[in-house]
Amino acid sequence: MIIDSTKMLIPDNYSLDDSGEITGITQSLLGSWQVCKRRFLYQINGWYHPMKVKNMEYGSMNHEVLDKLYTGHFQGSIKPGDFIDVITETISGYKMSDVFTQEEQQNLKAIAQAVMESYVVYYAKDFQEMRLEAIEETFEIQYICALLRGKIDGRFADKHKGLWHLEHKNYSQINADTLLLKLTFDLQNLFYYLADYLRRNRMLLGVLYNVVRKPSVKKALSNSEIYTYLKDLIRKTPKHYFLRYEIPYGLVDILPFMDSLERKLDLLRGEIEEVRREPERTQVVFYKNECACEMPYSCEFLNVCATCRMVGYRQKSIFSELDLPNNNQTI
């Protein structure tokens, strides 16, 4: 099916606030709008490119393992002796996209198995001492003109009962210096921080940013060799693969963030209202930002922006990442 992207509009059933059938905004959708309004237009219509899934699938699989492990700890349903079984079952049962060959799937699963088995050894204390009070919790909260939506990886109390968000990230490349600077005003962290404050009227202390580095395997190895090679490599240099940053936030961070968020949401609301009045202006209002096409990787919508045809693209529900099971678990 070939679809002419120049006819694309904001969906009729979408609303930025809570009044429509499809409602609200996530930090990732807002981030897309900030980077490129045309990218937002594609995403609000549910479009994505299978190659994007390919780049993200390894991280999604590891995220699911972390979810199972921390949920098990939170619910008291798994013990350290169960970790390997949980990791193996989650990874072997993970259904990858059909854009992967069988060999690629097995290769990624061998890497994930080695990384996650090493993770539970390195962070064994998490599963004895971490005082979790929420895991994979979704939120929806009206703020100014928008319904803020999202899902936190976890929330826990430190030994002084101060509350922190837990955020898991799977990265291939990390520049710790620039990452730390950027995290002082990170959109996702502050978006979730604000949502938490609005919902529960309590200030978090900050975010524990839990980075798991994906190792690269350059040699031609079998899957069992990959597993053994990585287990050994990570055991020798675990700090290279597992990094944690405590990012404290307070009023000095959240107040300017609220000002800028209000401004952004107001602009976005105005743009949606404008194209609802004059649909023929949609491509002008949601214009292409040609400066953002390679930052640093090629944008998944480069093909359609160049050809105006949605060839090779697929559609899904806009907020599918929030529709996964195992959410809303709080105590």
The beta-strand segments (E) located in the chain are 14-15, 22-23, 25-26, 47-48, 131-143, 146-157, 163-171, 206-213, 242-248, 314-315, 329-330
* Tokens read off for 21: 């059938």
The residue to which tokens 């559609």 are assigned: 315
Considering only 18, 104, 259, 290, the residue that binds ligand SF4 (CB under 6 A) is 290
Based on the shown chain and the rule CB under 6 A, indicate whether residue 200 belongs to the binding site for ligand SF4.
no
Helical axes 83-93 vs 102-122, angle rounded to 10°:
160
Indicate the DSSP class of residue 216: P
Q: How many angstroms separate the CA atoms of 184 and 298, rounded? A: 26
311 binds ligand SF4 (CB under 6 A): no
Shortest CB 203 distance to ligand SF4, Å: 36
Provide the 8-state DSSP code for 327.
-
Which CB, 56 or 174, lies closer to ligand SF4?
A: 56
Binding of ligand SF4 at residue 293 (CB under 6 A)? yes
Unique residue bearing structure tokens 């090779």? 312
Residue 36 CB, nearest distance to ligand SF4 (Å)? Answer: 3
Query: Residue from 10, 208, 275, 299 that binds ligand SF4 (CB under 6 A)?
Result: 299
Map residues 238-277 to x or -, x wherever contact with ligand SF4 holds by CB under 6 A: ----------------------------------------
CA distance 266 to 294: 27
CB 268 within 8 A of CB 15: no
Tell me if 284 contacts ligand SF4 by CB under 6 A. Answer: no
- What is the closest distance, in whole angstroms, from the C-beta atom of residue 314 to ligand SF4 in the complex? 16
Q: Please choose, out of 21-29, 145-153, 242-250, 300-308, the segment that lies near ligand SF4 by the rule CB under 6 A.
A: 300-308
Nearest CB to ligand SF4, comparing residues 134 and 304: 304
Binding site for ligand SF4 (CB under 6 A): 36, 38-39, 288-290, 292-293, 299, 301-302, 305
